[in-house]
Structure 1
Amino acid sequence: MSKSTKEKAEIESLESAIRHHNHLYWDKAAPEISDVDYDKLVRRLKDLSPDSAVLSEMGPSKDAPRVLGEAFRHKEPMLSLDKCYEPAELEQWAASFEGRVVAMPKFDGIACALHYEDGRLKVAATRGDGSVGDDITVNVLEIKDVPATIPTKETVEVRGEIYMRLSVFAKFKAAGMANPRNLTAGAIKQKDKSKSAAYELSFAAYDLIGTRADSQVGELEELVRFGFAKVDYLVLERDHVIEGFEKFTQWRPNLDYEIDGVVYKVDAIKEQRRLGQTSHHPRFAIAYKFQGDSGVSILRQVEWSVARTGAITPVAIVDPVNLSGVTVTRASLHNVAFIGNLGLTLGAHVTLVRRGGVIPNLENVTVPGTDPVVIPEQCPSCGSVVRRDRDFIFCSKPSTCKSAVIGQLAHYAATIGMLGFGDAILEHGYNAELLRSPVDFYTLRWEDIAKFERSGEKIAKKLVAEVDKKRSLELATFLRALGISELGKHVSAILADRYRTLDAVLQVTEEELLETHSIGASIAKSVVAGLAEARPLIDALRAHVTIVAPAHHEGEGGGPLAGLSFVFTGKMVAFSRSEAEKRVRALGAAVLSSVTKQLTYLVVGADKSGPKSTKEKAAEKLIGQGAPLKVLSEDELLAMLEGARTHESRS
């Protein structure tokens, strides 16, 4: 037998042996030989036949009898990223460490962890709940971007995102598919691996655990050496972090993948370790998220809008641009400081984003314009002198300013649900000197309204009837309708539940409000001062409106738990929180929205982990001050309910 024939026979024998032992090790978890002996076989085959197909087959075989979707517990939790939406929040994060920052795209895909041992892919798993994910190894092996083997013997974990390129998604979109992320989520969990492969998924690797690299950039470079596709990234100084967001915003329309923001990571691994992590997210990373579809347009002019408070707000007028299927020509500029901070000029090319897919906002300048934006010195509505208070400008006479008064009337009508009073009707009423205060709604005559342009008798009588429906208002609704700063839905509900009558609310002090959970010093001060300032309006409205106390809850006022009040925190195990509230109400107790001195019990759900909630801390503070309230466990609540039911059945 010739030498070449011997070599050929040896190659065939080696290939057969390696396939056999690879199958036992990866697919059966029952190796027959040591890793050292296995490596000898592989090295010998590389010497004799470096192009052998077997050398690229190492790792779990594509026909491995893995259970798709089988639970896999992550060795290190896959934490969520902390998120921010404003430049100030990003800059505050950047001030918490030293050194450079790496900015990368936030892929809109499915998070995945790849576990390699001895250079072979052992397990690929989804993030799941961060602690336990699903085994998707069989399907991940079909992704071309994921190497079955990598050139290292160290045990490492590669984290990244499974996604679908937009160029691939195009053919599915034509078939009516909604978006690439949802398609990716379904594709990676296909029971038939060939069907999963047909979706042509991609993988972006951006984290490497088990590396000796001393920087994030070093990890990204090592991932490329391992055979993963290079991820786009920028290296920035701490005081230039927003530039990363601006760059990716500019690149976004031309990328072949969807991103929903920019991920920032501290570059130095040593600094990452110093910062550590919370139970929810690492402190060394943050995601600056886009808040909707974005596009670039040109700023043509700035209009100034006067709100009911007298605040004068700038509005950008831009060339038409399509965002989330809607043509946008106007965008919010927030305040005068925002214009200065952006260095905004007329003719500038600007990026627009529909926040939450609804409200257009001007985010940044991509190309500067030529003409400055002129800040008004007089109110555009009434001509009064403008005053500036920090970042905002205000009309100095809002009580007599047409736009501010109409804004206040519109707020009152909308809050109490008085239909029909749109801007046109309100403006006619203002011009006719019939509507200058919410009180005036209640003295309107249909004969006067009928004289308004495009009104007539039918519309006029309908509007007067609508007013008559609103002569009785719940306390919380009435308080919100006053338009007092910080007295919105949450605070008005707390005041109504706690004090029950308008007279009691009008006597509340800042000190009392500060004792209420979720009401801070600025809110307490604003509410008390606002109620005092609105007292003449309140007194005038009371001549026309009956203020009704909050409705009693089911069972309140009678039953074995009558006179007691409860607040719940944490997740219940025996039943849902809403069911718990229903049960105590049925037995006569009241359920409050916050922790106060008047509270009887704070119930902490049994499924409560992590640090104490703000409600628990508030309760402990009040107990320390001598308040009679008690903190109950879920078991203690169940015992109380059982005792109350027994008492009720015997009565």
Structure 2
Amino acid sequence: MKKSDFQKMSVEALEAEVRRHNELYFLQHAPEISDELFDQLVEILRKKKPDSFVLTELISDVREEGKKVKHAAPMLSLDKCYDEASLLSWASKFEGDVLGMPKIDGCAVSLHYDQSGKLSRAATRGSGIEGEDITANVHAVDSIPKQLKIQNVEVRGEVYMPLSIFLKYRETFANPRNLAAGAIKQKDPKKTGAYSLSFFAFDLLGTQAMSEVEKRETLQQQKIPALEWKLLKRDEMGFYFAHILKKRAALDFETDGVVFKVNLLSEQKRLGNTAHHPRYALAYKFQGDADTTLLLDVEWSVSRTGAITPVGIVEPVKLSGAIVKRTSLHNVGRMEKFGVTKGATVLMMRRGGVIPHLESVIEQGNEKIETPKVCPSCGSPTKRVDDFLYCTNPKRCVKSKVGEFAHFVKALEIDGFGEKLLEQLYEQGLVTDISEFYELTFDELLQLKRMGETLATKLLRHIQEKRKLSLETFLQSLGIREVGRQAAKLLVEYGDGEKIRSATEEELATLHGIGPVMAHEIVRGLKKKRKTIERLLKHVRLTHQPSTKKGPLSGKSFLFTGTLASMQRKEAEDRVEASGGVMAQSVTKYLDYLVVGDEGGAGSKLTKAEQLVKKGGKVKIISEKEFLKIITI
């Protein structure tokens, strides 16, 4: 795109182009044209339509960052969770009540009031260590008090655009948060004032307060607008979350969750901070669409390992544009912990807009759910192991065997074998062990329902194409508990198939990323699968190609927890392996690094690693920023 292209455009096209480049530059930080060409674009529009609203519109005026200001105390991010189990796990680490309040989706700012109580300085959150000076601009936000009766304090809060104001901008801007962030940074404070921004305080520093409640009382006395809040017992947090979720649609600001903070400041001090977030506060985020519905019934599903999991049947509810009728209840222990009953009112979410989850029980139903004493698939007795229920005869259980077969064909990428076809193969005795896929004949396949010659030929061809397998793929296909992609890679590094099969638990436990629990499952699984392995090896040829990658991370094991801000988890794992490192499966005393994502959401892995460190363990808990420094060395 060049200046002559802009000159040929209509006024409407020019206005659209200015808006597009504004968003690319300021909101997405991905400009497509130089500042000089952008200025030429604006000038062309100015000549064609001097009174165009776009010329005085928000972000086109924000072209440079303002003066940097160092925060007196870091403005840390909040750790995040997406389910009640994680919330309760966090709450088990401290004593006393918690303060709950909506998490407003705005622009975090810091307001300093001097020895005379006058607003003397304001800054954006920025990096958390330093922000951008916006003192002149906040004077244009009417709801921010310019004078207090108390002195030398810092008020922290969110500048936001009310949804009622945002209505007139929604055709141009993606969301009110981006608009507020641009408006508060205008070069001309008068333009900031034109956008009718508002402010809510969420913290107060510099007073003698002993609790969060006392801080809120001071904010109220000083007439500083603050978010609604409620002091809660720890077992009331789930109900408060559901309360805010229900009233979310009626609020005049965007909220993306609920913030919970330990009430007593003495307890906050004891808990302390990580480099990323305070341990005494947590954001319980709305994830995808959420709504309440009724739990009508529970069905029981059998997996390839013989595990029997409860599946909730709910009254149809629309979440993220899809009608949801079923939801996983995970396991018997979790179902009992939630107190799930038939007829219960439950909170449902689609995590990431995809997977439906039951997050909590809002109101109990009147019919208890009985745990099955026999397997719903084969009728064999069930057994309870901790939180899990199992079929005692998985080798003869249809659902368990079909799950095993489905795992095998998926691991080998053999196309065409759906669940119904796999059921037929098992029920007619054509495949009772995964090795028997290689023994199927054309005539046998033709016996099956809806099977024609063309399909039978195609299926046999797909199987024959998988006569040569990498050792890594072969190990994954066996369906041994704990042996996924990463564990298979680690085993291939250890040795060839014969060495792996003869390894002891003690030998495998010393491998980076394995540990004693995984080693036990691997040795046990290989022993159980011995005959299957021998039969498979009559049909396939294995290739053993251990990684030859060497680099700065050679010999070091890594594990990630929480959400990464800079890249997807898969990319981070690939970068570790490209630098010679290995990915671990779980936190053990042999782990070298646990990387905590900067977007929060760390859970039990972090807790276990911290416990190991206290016991003198070697694991290093590092932030995402520290990880990025390591892999760029």
Normalised TM-score (structure 1) = 0.73
Cα distance in 1, alignment partners of residues 555 and 383 from structure 2: 47
The answer on whether the counterparts of 1:450 and 1:459 sit within 8 Å (CA) in structure 2 is no
Please give the secondary structure, in 2, of the residue aligned with 1:371. Answer: coil
Residue 215, structure 1, aligned to residue 228, structure 2: no
Aligned residue among 447, 452, 477 for 2:448: 452
Q: Which residue of 1 aligns with 2:153?
A: 156
Post-superposition offset of 1:525: 1.6
Judged with a 3 Å threshold, the aligned counterparts in structure 2 of structure 1 residues 449 and 108 are, in CA distance, closer, same or farther, namely: farther
Judged with a 3 Å threshold, the aligned counterparts in structure 2 of structure 1 residues 243 and 459 are, in CA distance, closer, same or farther, namely: same
Judged with a 3 Å threshold, the aligned counterparts in structure 2 of structure 1 residues 218 and 317 are, in CA distance, closer, same or farther, namely: same
Q: Which residue of 2 aligns with 1:135?
A: 133
Greater relative contact order (CA < 8 Å, ≥ 6 in sequence) = 2
The answer on whether the counterparts of 1:160 and 1:203 sit within 8 Å (CA) in structure 2 is yes
Post-superposition offset of 1:295: 0.7
Cα distance in 2, alignment partners of residues 213 and 410 from structure 1: 60
Q: Which residue of 2 aligns with 1:329?
A: 325
Residue 84, structure 1, aligned to residue 84, structure 2: no
Aligned residue among 249, 253, 269 for 2:265: 269
The answer on whether the counterparts of 2:492 and 2:546 sit within 8 Å (CA) in structure 1 is no
Residue 110, structure 1, aligned to residue 107, structure 2: yes
Aligned residue among 574, 584, 593 for 2:582: 593
Please give the secondary structure, in 2, of the residue aligned with 1:480. Answer: helix
The answer on whether the counterparts of 1:265 and 1:286 sit within 8 Å (CA) in structure 2 is yes
Q: Deviations over 1:65-98 (max 9, x none)?
A: 9985322211111122233344444334334333
Q: Which residue of 2 aligns with 1:300?
A: 296
Q: Deviations over 1:278-304 (max 9, x none)?
A: 333223222233333211111111111
Judged with a 3 Å threshold, the aligned counterparts in structure 2 of structure 1 residues 393 and 279 are, in CA distance, closer, same or farther, namely: same
**What pairs up with 1:507-546 in 2 under 5 angstroms?**
507-546=502-541
Aligned residue among 309, 312, 324 for 1:313: 309
The answer on whether the counterparts of 2:157 and 2:202 sit within 8 Å (CA) in structure 1 is yes
The structure whose Rg is larger is 1
Please give the secondary structure, in 1, of the residue aligned with 2:261. Answer: strand
Post-superposition offset of 1:364: 1.5
Please give the secondary structure, in 2, of the residue aligned with 1:345. Answer: coil
**What pairs up with 1:222-621 in 2 under 5 angstroms?**
222-499=218-495, 501-550=496-545, 553=548, 567=556, 591-593=580-582
Post-superposition offset of 1:253: 4.1
Post-superposition offset of 1:491: 1.3
Cα distance in 2, alignment partners of residues 517 and 201 from structure 1: 53
Post-superposition offset of 1:529: 1.4
Q: Deviations over 1:606-639 (max 9, x none)?
A: xxxxxxxx9xx9xx999xxxxxxxxxxx99x99x
Cα distance in 2, alignment partners of residues 126 and 254 from structure 1: 28
Cα distance in 2, alignment partners of residues 142 and 437 from structure 1: 73
Q: Which residue of 2 aligns with 1:10?
A: none
Post-superposition offset of 1:202: 2.8
Q: Deviations over 1:216-265 (max 9, x none)?
A: 01111212233322312111234544443343334334433333332222
Unaligned runs of 5+ in 1: 1-64, 571-577, 596-601, 604-613, 623-633, 639-651
Please give the secondary structure, in 2, of the residue aligned with 1:314. Answer: strand
Please give the secondary structure, in 1, of the residue aligned with 2:444. Answer: helix
Cα distance in 1, alignment partners of residues 417 and 148 from structure 2: 69
Post-superposition offset of 1:594: 6.2
Q: Which residue of 2 aligns with 1:8?
A: none
Counterpart amino acid of 1:461? T
The answer on whether the counterparts of 1:214 and 1:269 sit within 8 Å (CA) in structure 2 is yes
The answer on whether the counterparts of 2:558 and 2:583 sit within 8 Å (CA) in structure 1 is no
Counterpart amino acid of 2:421? I
Q: Which moved more, 1:326-335 or 1:134-143?
A: 134-143
Judged with a 3 Å threshold, the aligned counterparts in structure 2 of structure 1 residues 393 and 97 are, in CA distance, closer, same or farther, namely: closer
**What pairs up with 1:197-208 in 2 under 5 angstroms?**
197-208=193-204
The answer on whether the counterparts of 2:493 and 2:546 sit within 8 Å (CA) in structure 1 is no
Identity of aligned residues (%): 44
Q: Deviations over 1:502-548 (max 9, x none)?
A: 11111222222332333333222222211221222111111111121
Post-superposition offset of 1:351: 0.7
Aligned pairs, how many? 522
Cα distance in 2, alignment partners of residues 539 and 159 from structure 1: 66
Judged with a 3 Å threshold, the aligned counterparts in structure 2 of structure 1 residues 410 and 113 are, in CA distance, closer, same or farther, namely: same
Please give the secondary structure, in 1, of the residue aligned with 2:582. Answer: coil
Judged with a 3 Å threshold, the aligned counterparts in structure 2 of structure 1 residues 421 and 198 are, in CA distance, closer, same or farther, namely: farther
The answer on whether the counterparts of 2:83 and 2:359 sit within 8 Å (CA) in structure 1 is no
Cα distance in 2, alignment partners of residues 190 and 438 from structure 1: 66
Counterpart amino acid of 1:504? K
Cα distance in 1, alignment partners of residues 372 and 394 from structure 2: 16
Unaligned runs of 5+ in 2: 1-61, 560-570, 585-591, 594-608, 619-628
Judged with a 3 Å threshold, the aligned counterparts in structure 2 of structure 1 residues 88 and 569 are, in CA distance, closer, same or farther, namely: closer
Q: Deviations over 1:579-613 (max 9, x none)?
A: 9x99x99xxxx934269xxxxxx99xxxxxxxxxx
Counterpart amino acid of 2:272? G
Q: Which residue of 2 aligns with 1:37?
A: none
**What pairs up with 1:27-42 in 2 under 5 angstroms?**
none
Normalised TM-score (structure 2) = 0.75
Q: Deviations over 1:432-481 (max 9, x none)?
A: 32122211211122333234333312222111111112111212221111
Judged with a 3 Å threshold, the aligned counterparts in structure 2 of structure 1 residues 303 and 495 are, in CA distance, closer, same or farther, namely: same
The answer on whether the counterparts of 2:490 and 2:513 sit within 8 Å (CA) in structure 1 is no
